[in-house]
Amino acid sequence: MLNSDWRDYRGTGRHEDRLDDPGWLRQFLKRWSISAAGIPAETLIHSLRTLRTLLRQIAEQAAANQRIRPGLVDSLNAYFDAAPVIRQLAYENKKPQLNLVPAGGKPESMLVRIAGDFAEALTKDDPPRIKICENKDCGWVFYDRSKNRSRKWCEPATCSNLMKVRRFRQRHRRKA
């Protein structure tokens, strides 16, 4: 969801908020098994944008290996306060899994799942591995799974290759 605010990594300046695309939004909700039934589209999109902005601010601080500002922590905790969760045991791939399912039918119930997954990544995983692509035209948030934690680009086939080509061309322009 953090990367739903898409920017063309090639530097064309094209920008697209994928939350405005009903097909993309439907696929996103389906992929994460999130129900938005009964929530008006305008309310849903506004709520997702607000949460995306908050999570982006937290991701930027995590990527800079900074302590997350208390105000941002309070804002994230407000999502958890607004929609308590119920523990449910389920089986996924023949293994028992404890799921936290938002209680109630409010829009916050759907958002707490997204906020909770992000908070879990901050607490259970390694926060300095949360990074932002160094391609200024991209800015995607990604999780660095490299052994030495040195990844700078979101995807090897896109930004990494593009930045290598740009550096190569810049070096050759200087020589000419």
* Tens digit of each residue's pLDDT (9 = 90 or more) over 128-154: 788 999 888 898 998 888 888 888 888
pLDDT of residue 104: 66
**Which own/partner pairs from 54-60 qualify as long-range (CB within 8 Å, at least 24 positions apart)?**
55/1, 55/2, 55/114, 55/115, 55/118, 56/2, 56/5, 56/141, 58/118, 58/122, 59/2, 59/118, 59/130, 59/132, 59/141, 60/132
Q: Which two tokens stand for residue 4?
A: 């739903």
Mean pLDDT over the full length of the chain:
86
Residue 69 pLDDT exceeds 90: yes
Ordered structural domains, the chain, with CATH: 2-175 (1.10.3300.10)
For residue 73, name the pLDDT band (cuts at 50, 70, 90): very high
User: What global pTM score does this model have?
Assistant: 0.79
Predicted confidence (pLDDT) at residue 123 exceeds the cutoff of 80: yes
> C-alpha angle with apex 102: 98 to 106, nearest 5 degrees?
170
Q: Which of the four pLDDT bands, split at 50, 70 and 90, describes residue 106?
A: low
Q: How confident is the model at residue 77 (pLDDT cuts 50, 70, 90)?
A: very high
